[in-house]
Amino acid sequence: MYTLTWHKSLKIGKTDLYTLDLYEWAQGEDILSLVPSALNALTTIENGIISDNLKGFKSIVGVRVTGLAQGVEVIKLEYTTATRSDSVTVNLIVGETCQNL
């Protein structure tokens, strides 16, 4: 497991989509399942998505989240292919204004 930070923050009361392309990790396998969770309760996860990248592999994972309170939310994404599983945590800054970091 490793930790990243999304470069675009989330405004309180707004919903946005945040994605990662796991193509390098998946090594040509499709991502088959995704379980997202918000660890600090600063956001609500509306849904998780798995979609195709430009090469046609299902390697893009994402979450649609709504900001509830100011702070740094930790989003955990657990994902699997047919042969492997892994997870990543991503920091998401939630605030009164939206900014690119």
- Give the model confidence (pLDDT) of 39-54 as tens digits: 999 999 999 999 999 9
The model's pTM = 0.90
- What the chain holds in terms of domains, given with CATH numbers, is 2-95 (2.60.40.10)
- Give the model confidence (pLDDT) of 5-45 as tens digits: 998 999 999 999 999 999 999 999 999 999 999 999 999 99
pLDDT value of position 99: 64
Task: Please report the DSSP string for 14-67 in residue order.
Answer: -EEEEEEE-HHHHTTPPP-EEEEEESSSSEEEEEEEEEE-TTS-EEEEEEEEEE
- What is the average per-residue pLDDT within 66-86? 96
Cα diameter, the chain: 42
> How much is the mean pLDDT over the chain?
93
